[in-house]
Amino acid sequence: MPIENLLFEVLPDATWMATSPGRVNLLGEHVDYNHGVVLPMAIDRYVKMAVKPREDDRVILHALDFGEIVNFSLADLTQKRDIKGELLPNWALYPASVAWAYQKAGFKPGGMEAAFTSNLPIGAGLSSSAAVELAFAEYWKTQGEWKIDRMRMAEICQHGENAYVGVNCGLMDQFACAHGIARCALLFDTSSRAWQPIPLPLNTAIVIADSTIRRNLSGSDYNLRREECLLALALIQGKKADIGSLSEVPLESLDDMASFLPPEIMKRVRHVVEENERVKRACGYLMADNSVEFGKLMEAGHASLRDLYQVSLPELDALVNSAMQIDGCYGARLTGAGFGGCTVNFVKKDQVEVFSNTLKATFEKDFGLTVKVYACSASRSVSIERIDQ
């Protein structure tokens, strides 16, 4: 059954339908909050949301994937409680954060009732949270007829996730959901906000392997890594006041910094600086249809996330190692924050089925877990349409 039909069963008098994609990051992990360049793409797996406006300030949410309903007021979002005074469940913090951030930005979101579901695996590193945020943001922007562009909308959602939910994410996830283009990755400079589409080689496919191991970013070492990067920047600025972010550190200066940075902090800096350089090189390879060299950069990126940034797990390492032994795989790496979630694989298009089946069989044999594998395409950005039942 199409997921839209499930939404109409819950909300038969809906008047709007929003479609918001997840994203996968091909290269440039943990660089966005260090003001570097990243290479994500929106994917053809989505959050779908049916909505009808309300005349009061209530927000009623039907989360089909959790089997839960939440009802809260827009009049007092700071308490993070529903109308009965109970704390909002974690999933409801994301739409509430968008309303809160819009209010902080000077906008007035209206009451609504919404039903939403997704074919994105939750907590897998494919930005299901950003997809939810952008679906609500696009609805409120459209309903209010607010004249804000996609970048500003993404920034508002990021602020909500940072300050309201408590996850200190960078802008990459919200940017990708808001700017996706079919058949293209997105080269995004998180410092200047400049970006451009990078066409993907026609004979390749993106295959995502979900380890099924989940993590909670607000309670994981994700925020610790951000704190370590801030500490590193402060120490570097004590020696070089002109450095504004870790991504501005020259590659040739890394070895000199080892003399005054603690070893663990030095690892974080080296990952950020070298990963930033990998993204810049990778775009040239993609535009030249050089999938082999692009794949090598993915492998190097995973090794860096494993050894320097230390956000991988044995299961993710095994998925990457197994993938690289299969014919037709150019490159593989963990994608997203790490600590669980997915790997992304760059594969010959005519080898996708064999690759997927082989990877699943190997992982189940080694870990006793059933890995979920998705072949994905680069997708368009969040959209909303008026619907007539």
Measured CA to CA, the distance from residue 89 to residue 333 in angstroms comes to 32
Examine the fold and report which residue of 198, 232, 255 is the final residue of a domain before the chain moves on.
198
Q: Are residues 63 and 101 in the same domain?
A: yes
Q: Are residues 185 and 318 in the same domain?
A: no
CATH number of the domain that residue 42 is part of: 3.30.230.10
Count up the domains in the chain and report the number: 2
| Residue 384 is assigned to a structural domain of this protein | no
Measured CA to CA, the distance from residue 51 to residue 257 in angstroms comes to 53
119-128 pLDDT, tens digit each: 887 766 677 8
From the list 173, 210, 255, 350, the catalytic residue is 173
* pTM for the predicted model, two decimal places: 0.92
Is position 221 annotated as part of the catalytic site? Answer: no
Measured CA to CA, the distance from residue 210 to residue 308 in angstroms comes to 23
pLDDT means over runs of 10, the chain (389 residues) = 81 95 94 95 95 97 96 96 97 97 98 94 76 97 96 98 90 96 96 96 94 65 89 95 94 93 97 97 95 98 97 93 96 90 94 95 85 92 88
CATH number of the domain that residue 245 is part of: 3.30.70.890
Measured CA to CA, the distance from residue 102 to residue 224 in angstroms comes to 27
| Residue 335 is assigned to a structural domain of this protein | yes
224 token code pair: 């610790």
Write down the residue that tokens 């909300």 correspond to.
Answer: 11
Q: Are residues 284 and 184 in the same domain?
A: no
Q: Are residues 44 and 62 in the same domain?
A: yes
Q: Are residues 191 and 215 in the same domain?
A: no
**Whole-number pLDDT of residue 266:** 97
185 token code pair: 């990755």
Q: Are residues 259 and 147 in the same domain?
A: no
Examine the fold and report which residue of 134, 168, 198 is the final residue of a domain before the chain moves on.
198
**Residue numbers of the domain that contains 348:** 204-376
Nearest in space to 125 (alpha carbons), one of 172, 162, 180, 188: 172
**Whole-number pLDDT of residue 329:** 97
> Across the strands, what pairs with 346?
206, 331
Q: Are residues 175 and 214 in the same domain?
A: no
Examine the fold and report which residue of 140, 170, 198 is the final residue of a domain before the chain moves on.
198
44-53 pLDDT, tens digit each: 999 999 999 9
